[in-house]
Amino acid sequence: MDAEFKNIFVFQQWQRDSHPQHYCKHPEDENRNPKSKLLKTQQQQFHCATSSDINFNLDYAFRNALQFADQVTPFKVLTELDKKLVLSEFGIAFSLIDQAHDSAKTNEGFWFLQNGAVLSSNYYYGRPFNTLKKHNTSQQAKLHLDFVHGLFKELKNPFNMLKIDDLDCALLKVMLLVTSSFPGKARIPRLQQHSFSLQAILDDALNG
């Protein structure tokens, strides 16, 4: 395995080991209704995700994405502006890869966030009745169903079918980082040139 990629892979594992410590410190946890618990595993309980959960996860995901990207040499030499342009796209992809990896581990109809929250394809599942009365639930339920099914179809099911593991996730992240479309017309020749070395990394990973 390429030495730089090995360091990136090890760093990813460190980040994932830190998820319970950082992601689960949600400001709403202390006031959360115990009845909102949906699913329990040997290590963690999961609750129905709220908009606050989504925002909380995105915030930490972008921080983790920046830390991860800083392990890739060409990214470290970019200007702060170019880093922001790259992260505006990469941060979302980074978060979805981790979530898809976790979600594909189970056949349950849930999409897992990193902070102990889940999205169920059933909008009504696990939601307090008082909350449902405040919204146009029929429209919300349809939009929610379409969104979650999209996550299953485009990410969870392929990750499950292809048996995407931790090494694959690290490789996907690096590939997406160096081949982003760079919103804002960022032109980064060194980063683009570095992407050609990915073939050697990919060959090495496939050959074990």
Query: Amino acid identity, residue 35?
Result: K
The answer to whether 131 and 123 are in contact (CB under 8 A) is: no
Contact 163, 150 (CB under 8 A): no
Asked if residue 16 has pLDDT above 70, the reply is: yes
Of the candidate ranges 1-15, 25-39, 179-193, the one whose mean pLDDT is the lowest = 25-39
pLDDT tens, 93-135?
Answer: 999 999 999 999 887 788 998 887 889 887 777 666 555 555 5
Q: Order the strands of the 37-40 sheet from edge to edge.
A: 37-40, 45-48, 117-120, 110-112
Given a cut of 70, whether residue 23 has pLDDT beyond it is: no
May I ask the CATH architecture of the domain 3-206?
A: Orthogonal Bundle (1.10)
Please report the pLDDT score of residue 125 as a whole number.
72
Q: In which band, very low, low, confident or very high, does the pLDDT at 196 lie, cut at 50, 70 and 90?
A: very low
How do residues 42-65 score in pLDDT, each as one tens digit?
456 777 888 888 888 889 899 999
The continuous run of DSSP H or E covering 83 comes out as helix 80-103
Q: Where are the domains of the chain?
A: 3-206
Q: Give Cβ neighbours of residue 130 (< 8 Å, ≥ 6 apart).
A: none
Residue 92 pLDDT greater than 90, yes or no: yes
- SS percent in the chain: helix, strand, coil, step 5: 65, 5, 30
Listed range (24-38, 129-143, 161-175, 191-205) with the worst mean pLDDT = 24-38
The Cα-based distances of 170 to 75, 93, 98, 162 in angstroms read 16, 12, 10, 15
With bands split at pLDDT 50, 70 and 90, how would you rate the model's confidence at 199? Answer: low
| Per-residue pLDDT tens over the stretch 132-166 | 555 567 788 888 889 999 999 999 999 999 999 99
C-alpha–C-alpha distance, residues 86 and 25, integer Å: 28
When comparing pLDDT for 76 and 71, which is higher?
71
Q: For residue 73, what is the enclosing H or E element? A: helix 73-76
Cβ contacts of 100-107, under 8 Å, gap ≥ 24: 100/151, 100/155, 100/156, 100/159, 100/164, 101/159, 101/164, 101/166, 101/169, 103/151, 103/155, 103/156, 103/159, 104/156, 104/157, 104/159, 104/160, 104/164
Residues 18-28 have a mean pLDDT of 55
